[in-house]
Structure 1
Amino acid sequence: MTMPVFVIFWVSLCLTSVKGDYYSATSELEALVDVEVRLVQQIEFYLQKAEEQQENIKRFLENVEKVPDDPYYIEDYFENPINAFITIKRLVHDWRYNVFEPVFDQSDLVAYKENLTKQLESPDFKNPTKDDLLGATRGLWRLQETYKLPTSQLANGILMPGDKNELNVTLSASDCYTIGSYLNELQQHSYAVDWLLEAKAKSIKEVSAFPFVSELSILEQLAPTLNQVGNKKLAYRLNTEILEKDPNHETALKDKPIYETQLAWQRDPRLNVAASKVDESSKSLDLYQRVCRGELRQSPRQQRKLRCFYSDRGVAFYRLGPFKVEQLNLDPYVAYFHNVISDDETDDLIEHGMGQVKRSRVGTVGNSTVSEVRTSQNTWLWYEQQPWLKNLKLRLEDITGLGMESAEPLQLVNYGIGGHYEPHYDFVEDKVTTFGWKGNRLLTALLYLNEVPMGGATAFPYLKLAVPPVKGSLLVWYNLHRSLDPDFRTKHAGCPVLMGSKWVCNEWFHEGAQEFRRPCGLMNDNVDDTLAS
Structure 2
Amino acid sequence: MSHPHGSFLGIFLLLIWSGAVKGEFYSSVDSMQDLAQVEQELINATRSYLEAQQNQLNFYRRYMEQIKREHEWAVGQLKLDEYLGHPLHAFRLIKRLVLDWDELIFETIIENKPREDFRSFVDALTKDLGYPDQSELQGAIKGLARLQRVYNLTTSDLADGVINGYHYDSELQWRESYEIGVQLFDLGEYKRSLEWLQVAFVLLRNSPLEKDENGYLSDIREYAAMANFELGNPERADRLLKQILTPEPIHSAQQTRKYLESRVTGKNVEEKNPSWFANYTRLCQGRRLPEKGSGNPLKCYLDGKRHAYFTLAPLQVEPVHLDPDINVYHGMLNSKQILSIFVEVDKEEMVRSAVAGEGGKRTVRDLRVSQQTWLNYTAPVMQSISRIVQFVSGFDMAGAESMQVANYGVGGQYEPHPDYFEVNLPKEFEGDRISTSMFYLSNVEQGGYTVFTKLNLFLPPVKGALVMWHNLHRSLDVDVRTFHAGCPVIVGSKRIGNIWMHSGFQEFRRPCNLTSDSYKSVAYRN
Report the counterpart of residue 204 of structure 1 in structure 2. Answer: 205
* 2:317 equivalent to 1:317: no
**Aligned counterparts, 1:173-184, within 5 A:** 173-184=174-185
* 2:501 equivalent to 1:509: yes
What is the alpha-carbon distance in structure 2 between the residues aligned to residue 369 and residue 260 of structure 1? 38
What is the alpha-carbon distance in structure 1 between the residues aligned to residue 134 and residue 186 of structure 2? 12
- The count of corresponding residues between Structure 1 and Structure 2 is 462
**Aligned counterparts, 1:19-98, within 5 A:** 19-47=22-50
SS in 2 for 1:378: strand
Compared with structure 1, are the counterparts of its residues 186 and 404 closer, same or farther at alpha carbon in structure 2 (3 Å cutoff)?
Answer: same
Residues 26, 414 of structure 1: 8 Å contact kept: yes
What is the alpha-carbon distance in structure 1 between the residues aligned to residue 181 and residue 415 of structure 2? 24
* 2:477 equivalent to 1:475: no
Deviations 1:72-116 (A, max 9, x none): xxxxxxxxxxxxxxxxxxxxxxxxxxxxxxxxxxx6455223311
What is the alpha-carbon distance in structure 1 between the residues aligned to residue 496 and residue 212 of structure 2? 38
What is the alpha-carbon distance in structure 2 between the residues aligned to residue 12 and residue 278 of structure 1? 40
Residues 489, 529 of structure 1: 8 Å contact kept: no
What is the alpha-carbon distance in structure 2 between the residues aligned to residue 370 and residue 38 of structure 1? 31
Residues 440, 511 of structure 1: 8 Å contact kept: yes
Report the counterpart of residue 378 of structure 1 in structure 2. Answer: 372
Report the counterpart of residue 526 of structure 1 in structure 2. Answer: 518
Report the counterpart of residue 333 of structure 1 in structure 2. Answer: 325
SS in 1 for 2:497: strand
Compared with structure 1, are the counterparts of its residues 109 and 477 closer, same or farther at alpha carbon in structure 2 (3 Å cutoff)?
Answer: farther
> 5+ residue gaps in structure 2?
1-6, 58-108
Structure 2 residue aligned with 1:458, among 450, 454, 457? 450
Report the counterpart of residue 367 of structure 1 in structure 2. Answer: 361
Report the counterpart of residue 228 of structure 1 in structure 2. Answer: 230
* 2:427 equivalent to 1:425: no
Structure 2 residue aligned with 1:345, among 309, 332, 337? 337
Residues 337, 381 of structure 2: 8 Å contact kept: no
What is the alpha-carbon distance in structure 1 between the residues aligned to residue 256 and residue 200 of structure 2? 25
Structure 2 residue aligned with 1:392, among 385, 388, 398? 385
Compared with structure 1, are the counterparts of its residues 48 and 276 closer, same or farther at alpha carbon in structure 2 (3 Å cutoff)?
Answer: closer
Using the TM superposition, give the Cα deviation of residue 204 of structure 1 relative to its aligned residue in structure 2, in angstroms. Answer: 1.1
After TM superposition, the runs of 4+ consecutive aligned structure 1 residues lying more than 6 A away are 4-9, 210-213, 259-263, 274-278
Residues 280, 453 of structure 2: 8 Å contact kept: yes
Structure 1 residue aligned with 2:163, among 152, 159, 165? 159
Select the structure of larger CA radius of gyration: 2
Letter in 2 for 1:243: L
Report the counterpart of residue 79 of structure 1 in structure 2. Answer: none
Residues 49, 115 of structure 2: 8 Å contact kept: no
Residues 179, 192 of structure 1: 8 Å contact kept: yes
Using the TM superposition, give the Cα deviation of residue 461 of structure 1 relative to its aligned residue in structure 2, in angstroms. Answer: 0.8
Using the TM superposition, give the Cα deviation of residue 521 of structure 1 relative to its aligned residue in structure 2, in angstroms. Answer: 2.5
Compared with structure 1, are the counterparts of its residues 125 and 451 closer, same or farther at alpha carbon in structure 2 (3 Å cutoff)?
Answer: same
Deviations 1:443-467 (A, max 9, x none): 0011001110100000111111111
TM-score for the superposition, normalised by structure 1: 0.79
231-240 or 511-520, larger mean C-alpha shift:
231-240
TM-score for the superposition, normalised by structure 2: 0.80
Using the TM superposition, give the Cα deviation of residue 207 of structure 1 relative to its aligned residue in structure 2, in angstroms. Answer: 4.1
What is the alpha-carbon distance in structure 2 between the residues aligned to residue 211 and residue 446 of structure 1? 54
Using the TM superposition, give the Cα deviation of residue 286 of structure 1 relative to its aligned residue in structure 2, in angstroms. Answer: 2.4
What is the alpha-carbon distance in structure 2 between the residues aligned to residue 446 and residue 368 of structure 1? 21
Compared with structure 1, are the counterparts of its residues 109 and 353 closer, same or farther at alpha carbon in structure 2 (3 Å cutoff)?
Answer: farther
SS in 1 for 2:415: strand
Letter in 2 for 1:501: S
Residues 180, 195 of structure 1: 8 Å contact kept: yes
Using the TM superposition, give the Cα deviation of residue 511 of structure 1 relative to its aligned residue in structure 2, in angstroms. Answer: 0.1
What is the alpha-carbon distance in structure 1 between the residues aligned to residue 211 and residue 313 of structure 2? 59
Compared with structure 1, are the counterparts of its residues 254 and 112 closer, same or farther at alpha carbon in structure 2 (3 Å cutoff)?
Answer: closer
Report the counterpart of residue 195 of structure 1 in structure 2. Answer: 196
Letter in 2 for 1:153: D
Letter in 1 for 2:237: A
Using the TM superposition, give the Cα deviation of residue 354 of structure 1 relative to its aligned residue in structure 2, in angstroms. Answer: 6.2
Deviations 1:236-270 (A, max 9, x none): 2211111124212344466279679989xx9xxxx
Compared with structure 1, are the counterparts of its residues 530 and 113 closer, same or farther at alpha carbon in structure 2 (3 Å cutoff)?
Answer: farther
118-127 or 443-452, larger mean C-alpha shift:
118-127
Letter in 1 for 2:113: A
Using the TM superposition, give the Cα deviation of residue 289 of structure 1 relative to its aligned residue in structure 2, in angstroms. Answer: 1.3
Letter in 2 for 1:389: M
Residues 440, 510 of structure 1: 8 Å contact kept: yes
Letter in 2 for 1:41: N
What is the alpha-carbon distance in structure 1 between the residues aligned to residue 149 and residue 27 of structure 2? 18
SS in 2 for 1:247: coil
Compared with structure 1, are the counterparts of its residues 326 and 17 closer, same or farther at alpha carbon in structure 2 (3 Å cutoff)?
Answer: same
**Aligned counterparts, 1:286-325, within 5 A:** 286-297=278-289, 299=291, 301-302=293-294, 304-325=296-317
Compared with structure 1, are the counterparts of its residues 42 and 475 closer, same or farther at alpha carbon in structure 2 (3 Å cutoff)?
Answer: same
What is the alpha-carbon distance in structure 2 between the residues aligned to residue 276 and residue 16 of structure 1? 41
Residues 438, 468 of structure 2: 8 Å contact kept: yes
Structure 2 residue aligned with 1:116, among 86, 101, 118? 118
Residues 232, 259 of structure 1: 8 Å contact kept: no
Report the counterpart of residue 237 of structure 1 in structure 2. Answer: 239
What is the alpha-carbon distance in structure 1 between the residues aligned to residue 294 and residue 469 of structure 2? 17
Compared with structure 1, are the counterparts of its residues 133 and 108 closer, same or farther at alpha carbon in structure 2 (3 Å cutoff)?
Answer: farther
What is the alpha-carbon distance in structure 2 between the residues aligned to residue 210 and residue 117 of structure 1? 30
Residues 303, 317 of structure 2: 8 Å contact kept: yes
Residues 429, 502 of structure 2: 8 Å contact kept: no
236-245 or 290-299, larger mean C-alpha shift:
290-299
What is the alpha-carbon distance in structure 1 between the residues aligned to residue 175 and residue 363 of structure 2? 33
Using the TM superposition, give the Cα deviation of residue 510 of structure 1 relative to its aligned residue in structure 2, in angstroms. Answer: 0.9
Q: CA RMSD in A?
A: 3.2
Residues 403, 513 of structure 1: 8 Å contact kept: yes
Using the TM superposition, give the Cα deviation of residue 210 of structure 1 relative to its aligned residue in structure 2, in angstroms. Answer: 9.8
Using the TM superposition, give the Cα deviation of residue 305 of structure 1 relative to its aligned residue in structure 2, in angstroms. Answer: 5.0
What is the alpha-carbon distance in structure 1 between the residues aligned to residue 241 and residue 16 of structure 2? 40
Letter in 1 for 2:374: W
Residues 245, 253 of structure 2: 8 Å contact kept: no
What is the alpha-carbon distance in structure 2 between the residues aligned to residue 173 and residue 258 of structure 1? 26
SS in 2 for 1:317: helix
Report the counterpart of residue 171 of structure 2 in structure 1. Answer: 170
Compared with structure 1, are the counterparts of its residues 454 and 8 closer, same or farther at alpha carbon in structure 2 (3 Å cutoff)?
Answer: closer
Using the TM superposition, give the Cα deviation of residue 117 of structure 1 relative to its aligned residue in structure 2, in angstroms. Answer: 3.0
Compared with structure 1, are the counterparts of its residues 28 and 253 closer, same or farther at alpha carbon in structure 2 (3 Å cutoff)?
Answer: closer
Using the TM superposition, give the Cα deviation of residue 388 of structure 1 relative to its aligned residue in structure 2, in angstroms. Answer: 3.1
Report the counterpart of residue 499 of structure 1 in structure 2. Answer: 491
